[in-house]
């Protein structure tokens, strides 16, 4: 989130810098090409006007106008190409089941186009003075190596317990 805000502020600052560079360049071009003349230094000297012969040359190769022109023409930052973020592929749902019974018990399951499967069932159970939902289920997926990983689990008054080939043995009480 903070990186996103920083990036937005950075883009606004770059935009403002670019606009000020364009404005300065346009003003310099307007001053240097006044009345169709190519440069102020080419104009004959007139008293009280730029280019006057009795004043030091402000438009020479080391004058402030020349330095401002060079700064305005210089790119603010090097241009970099950015590739648009690629969208992850859409994975279809090939199976989706849901069953809700009047007694509060339920079943649901799904399977995706990338070999993920899950099935769950649950019901209400009286546990001491309270009632709660107990559930059990299983899920499976393909590992990066291409092996099917299967996990079976239970959630009840004894907590959540999962058993699978990739998980090892559950702790003994």
Residue 127 forms part of a structural domain: yes
Determine the pLDDT at residue 27: 54
Tell me, yes or no, whether 59 and 109 share the same domain: no
Tell me, yes or no, whether 37 and 98 share the same domain: no
**10-residue mean pLDDT series, the chain (173 residues):** 48 51 52 49 49 53 66 67 85 96 95 96 90 94 92 94 79 56
Tell me, yes or no, whether 68 and 120 share the same domain: no
Of 19, 46, 43, the residue nearest 31 (C-alpha) = 43
Determine the pLDDT at residue 42: 46
Determine the pLDDT at residue 173: 56
Residue 156 forms part of a structural domain: yes
- Give the structural domain span for 155: 93-164
Of 159, 125, 155, 124, the residue nearest 138 (C-alpha) = 155
Determine the pLDDT at residue 168: 67
Q: Report the side by side order of strands in the sheet with 117-127.
A: 93-100, 106-112, 117-127, 130-142, 148-156, 159-164
Q: How many domains does the chain have?
A: 2
Residue 83 forms part of a structural domain: no
Tell me, yes or no, whether 121 and 160 share the same domain: yes
Tell me, yes or no, whether 63 and 118 share the same domain: no
């Amino acid at each position: 989130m903070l990186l996103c805000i920083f990036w937005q502020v950075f883009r606004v600052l770059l935009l403002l810098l670019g606009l000020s560079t364009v404005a300065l360049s346009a003003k310099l071009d307007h001053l240097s090409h006044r009345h169709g003349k190519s440069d102020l230094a080419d104009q004959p000297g007139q008293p009280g006007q730029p280019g006057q012969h009795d004043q030091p040359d402000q438009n020479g190769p080391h004058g402030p106008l020349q330095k401002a022109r060079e700064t305005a023409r210089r790119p603010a930052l090097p241009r970099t190409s950015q590739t648009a973020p690629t969208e992850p592929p859409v994975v279809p749902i090939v199976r989706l089941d849901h069953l809700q019974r009047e007694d509060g018990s339920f079943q649901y399951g799904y399977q995706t186009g990338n070999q993920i499967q899950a099935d769950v069932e649950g019901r209400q159970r009286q546990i001491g003075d309270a009632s709660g939902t107990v559930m059990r289920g299983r899920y499976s997926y393909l590992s990066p190596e291409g092996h099917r990983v299967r996990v079976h689990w239970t959630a009840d008054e004894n907590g959540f317990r999962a058993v699978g080939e990739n998980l090892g043995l559950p702790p003994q009480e």
